Amino acid sequence: MCGRYRLTAKERYIAEHFGVDEAEVHWSARYNLAPTQEVAVIRQDRKEPKRHFSLMRWGLIPYWSKDASIAARTINAMAETVAEKPTFRDAVRKNRCLIPADGFYEWKKLGAKEKQPYNIGMRDDGLFAFAGLWDRWKTPGGDIWETCSVITTDANSLLQPIHTRMPVILKPEDYDSWLDPGIQDPVRVEDLLKPFDAQRMKIYPLSSRVSNVNNDDPECIREVPPAAEAAPMLF
C-alpha cells in the first residue's frame, strides 16, 4: 500500500516536470504527507490538451457517497480490481490523474513491536508520479470536495523484502495516455498499472521520526543505519 509519502521539489521543478503553468503551482515542501491531508494532483483539461495543477484531499469520496467516512478506506485502489469496484470504476474511466512525489515510505516489521521505516524513490532523487484517481463530492452542507486515491500494484524486487504492495509509478512517457480524457475504456490503460523498474529506484532506512505524522521536516528523510531484526525465539 501507500500511506505516506513526500513532495519536496520546488514549484518550478514541479511545473517543468509535469508540463503545467508555473503560476498554477502553489506548493511548499512536504516531507510527511498523510491521508486526509491536501496533496498535489495533476489532471488534464477535458476540452483541450492542457494539464492543470490542483490540491485535493487524500482519500477518495465517490460522487454518490452519502458521507465522508468512506475516505478512510480509499487512500489506495488496487490495480487488479480498480475497474470493477463501485468506489473507483467511474473514476478510472473519467477521472484519472497524476499524484506528484519524490519519495514514499514503507515500514518493515523487525519484531513484535518494532518497525523500520524506509524511504523509496528514484535513483536520481527526482520527481515521479503515482497513478491516481480523483472525484468530486458535494457535502451535506453544499461544499464541494475534490478527493483522490493512489493506485497500488504488486511490489517489485526492491520492495518485496518490506511489503507485498507498492504504488503504481508511471513513466513520464505514459503521462499523456493516463491523463487522456478520451480514453474511457480501462482496458486501454491497464498495461500501465504494473510494478516500476526496480533498477531505476533506490531505498534506504530512516529513523522513527517519520512514523509520527506531526513531524514534517528534512530530518524525516535523513538516512540512518538499519536497525537489527529481532532474533527468532527458540523453544
Q: What pLDDT score was predicted for residue 49? A: 87
One pLDDT digit (tens) per residue for the chain, 235 residues: 689 999 999 999 999 999 999 999 999 999 999 999 999 999 999 888 899 999 999 999 999 999 999 999 999 999 999 999 999 999 999 999 999 999 999 999 998 889 999 999 999 999 999 999 999 999 999 999 999 999 999 999 999 999 999 999 999 999 999 999 999 999 999 999 999 999 999 999 999 999 999 999 999 999 999 876 644 444 4
Q: What pLDDT score was predicted for residue 227? A: 78
pTM over cut 0.85: yes
Q: What amino acid occupies position 117? A: P
Q: What pLDDT score was predicted for residue 233? A: 44
CA 30 to chain centre: 13
The residue from 11, 22, 97, 106 that is catalytic is 106
Q: What pLDDT score was predicted for residue 194? A: 97
Q: What is the Cα–Cα distance from 47 to 34, expressed in whole angstroms?
A: 32
106 noted as active-site residue: yes
Q: What pLDDT score was predicted for residue 84? A: 96
| 8 Å CB contact between 82 and 72 | no
Q: What pLDDT score was predicted for residue 119? A: 98
Q: What pLDDT score was predicted for residue 230? A: 46
Q: What pLDDT score was predicted for residue 229? A: 62
| 8 Å CB contact between 77 and 71 | no
Q: For 198, phi and psi rounded to 5 degrees?
A: -65, -30
DSSP state of 210: G
CA dihedral for 123, 126, 131, 136, sign (positive or negative): positive
Read off the pLDDT of residues 110-160 as tens digits, 9 standing for 90 and up: 988 899 999 999 999 999 999 999 999 999 999 999 999 999 999 999 999
